Structure 1
Amino acid sequence: MGACLCPSDDPESPSQPPCRPLCFHPYIKGSQVMMDESCCIASRVATFHDGIVFSNRPVELYEKVTVKILTEDSKWHGGLRVGFTWEDPSLLEPFELPPFACPNLVKQGKCWACVLPDEYGAEGMIVSFWVDSQGYVFCSVNQESEYLLLLEGVSVTRPLWAVMDIYGRTKAVQLLDPSSLTTNTEGPGLLRLNLDEQSESAHRENVGDDCAICFGYKANTMMLPCTHANFCSDCSLKILNTSGRCPLCRQEVKKILHVSLLAERESPELWPGKAKNICPFR
């Protein structure tokens, strides 16, 4: 296992300092990608695809990959894709890269990636994403303490490099040092989740029951802001990416949170921020 991949037993404790600053890989990139000298700003020159970029080194578990969306191109649809790969990009050839991270890289079986929600892809947004020791990928915007479940099932048994696809209306992004940014606890639209209050909700009683849609998996996610928790993570993600409305109350779904471990009170891995606005990361 690579020296940069250092999972911590306590997600609230700082992990070991990264071996070197995080930037984009300078050579392995999509055919339409241009970079500045620092390899921290990547721009897509033309069309809407061939904008895949990688991190220059493996990222640690819980290490935030933070990018600012610098420029949009409104003539295209769709936006930034983010994720992780266990294939060292240094072993690839640029001409081997497919035009899209989703579905091309994902279908190759060595990458986990998805598109960010539309509201996260606006020009000027600062987006952070990370993977935890259970293989869950989360993201947040503008250093807010609220975070969103993006993916699950990522293998963390080997080093992982960050993957980004500067796709569609996303035209240019900049990698930032998250430690230099101020945490925003008063951002507009921030859903302040007090876990003690949430645990008293009647909706939480549904966690652990069978998913109300597929009946094949346990309900383990909560939809926000309605707080219905009757669905498994697979079905919740499908709802978010299709109708975008809770099947029970038809309210628009803004976020999905993974709540099964919170309900069972067995592990702090996913919900270590009790009474701290769920912000366990440095």
Structure 2
Amino acid sequence: MAGVCHPPTRFHRIHGANVRLDPAGTQATRVDSFANGLCFSHEPLAPGQVFLVEIEEKELGWCGHLRVGLTAHEPGSLDVVPEYSLPDLVNLGESWVFAITRNHNRVTAGDRAAADARGFLSDPYLRIEQVKIPRDKLVGRSRPGRYSHLLDDLYKTNVLPATARKSRIGVLYALQPDGTADMHIVINGEDMGPSAKGLPASRPLYAVVDVFASTKSVRIIQVEYGLPSLQTLCRLAIQKHIVHRLAIDGLNLPPPLKNLCKYE
């Protein structure tokens, strides 16, 4: 899968009543209440293609967190966008959605021991069955600051709450020999194991992101599967020659490139 190229992902024009998308369709913000925050991928996902979002903003006072999953319903075919992914969308059938908490970690103790033996997060690729995804984009980075390097280490080791700001949550499906698919959720570069099995791989499967309750805003993170883009190569070259990301502010670079270097 590392050599496969997928088009950039964005959110579907069909979404919950309380969602506002940015002009690029890559940031979804719930502007009112705690519900009606349902979003979908613009196109069906390809096998092994991860739909990855970063939690941009939280809202205190609500109970509950981000929910993600897959659906075989084409968003434009819905008479009304459900108020909730759980249970409303799931009750329509052919939808598989989970709240993002550690309680839904499907990795067994034996699998975890094997992962530890291989050196968790030391491999530059996340490997899920036949799927191979570059790991660098799967792990969030804090906003630059005096102690941001400490936070970055916590994100890399995945010890912060799964729903913390800057956490990156992804969903994908892996094809199975019997023609079905397993759905996997990825939290900060760690595969949570099969969350659902027996999905109809012959049907188009759309990503579901429910910007629910304490999650206020999420942003899509683009993942490169093949050769790195020129933009990525420039970012890596700049980052290689600075001591700390705060030093980027002093460089004579366009603001968009500075932001890319600081936050990606």
| TM-score, normalised with respect to structure 2 | 0.58
Task: Give the alignment partner of residue 9 of structure 2, picking from 16, 22, 27.
Answer: 22
Aligned to 1:141: 187
Q: Residue 104 of structure 1 aligns to a residue in which SS?
A: helix
Aligned to 2:121: none
Q: Is the CA contact 1:120–1:141 (under 8 Å) kept in the aligned structure 2?
A: yes
CA distance in 2, matches of 1:31, 1:13: 37
CA deviation after TM superposition for structure 1 residue 13, in Å: 5.5
CA-to-partner distance for each residue in 1:163-213, whole Å, 9 max, x for gaps?
11111101100011022789xxxxxxxxxxxxxxxxxxxxxxxxxxxxxxx
CA distance in 1, matches of 2:54, 2:2: 26
Aligned to 1:120: 162
What is the identity, as a one-letter code, of the residue corresponding to 1:92?
L
Q: Is the CA contact 1:114–1:151 (under 8 Å) kept in the aligned structure 2?
A: no
| Number of equivalences | 164
Q: Is the CA contact 1:140–1:147 (under 8 Å) kept in the aligned structure 2?
A: yes
Aligned to 2:19: 33
Aligned to 2:105: none
CA distance in 2, matches of 1:154, 1:77: 30
What does residue range 52-71 of structure 1 map to in structure 2 within 5 Å? Answer: 52-71=38-57
Aligned to 1:162: 207
Task: Give the alignment partner of residue 58 of structure 2, picking from 72, 83, 103.
Answer: 72
Mind listing any 5+ residue stretches in structure 1 that lack a counterpart?
A: 1-11, 183-282
Q: Is the CA contact 2:11–2:42 (under 8 Å) kept in the aligned structure 1?
A: yes
Q: Is the CA contact 1:85–1:160 (under 8 Å) kept in the aligned structure 2?
A: yes
Q: Residue 102 of structure 1 aligns to a residue in which SS?
A: helix
What does residue range 100-115 of structure 1 map to in structure 2 within 5 Å? Answer: 100-115=84-99
What does residue range 38-49 of structure 1 map to in structure 2 within 5 Å? Answer: 38-49=24-35
CA distance in 2, matches of 1:91, 1:105: 13
More RCO (CA 8 Å, sep 6+): 2
Q: Is the CA contact 1:133–1:156 (under 8 Å) kept in the aligned structure 2?
A: yes
CA deviation after TM superposition for structure 1 residue 89, in Å: 1.1
| TM-score, normalised with respect to structure 1 | 0.55
CA deviation after TM superposition for structure 1 residue 39, in Å: 0.5
CA distance in 1, matches of 2:170, 2:98: 14
Q: Is the CA contact 2:171–2:207 (under 8 Å) kept in the aligned structure 1?
A: no
Aligned to 2:174: 132
Aligned to 2:77: 91
Identity of aligned residues (%): 28
Q: Is the CA contact 1:25–1:53 (under 8 Å) kept in the aligned structure 2?
A: yes
CA-to-partner distance for each residue in 1:47-103, whole Å, 9 max, x for gaps?
11100001110110110111000011121111111111111112234xx11210011
What is the identity, as a one-letter code, of the residue corresponding to 1:114?
F
2:198 paired with 1:153: yes
Which structure features the higher share of helix residues? 2
CA distance in 2, matches of 1:128, 1:163: 10
What is the identity, as a one-letter code, of the residue corresponding to 1:155?
P
Aligned to 1:280: none
CA deviation after TM superposition for structure 1 residue 140, in Å: 2.2
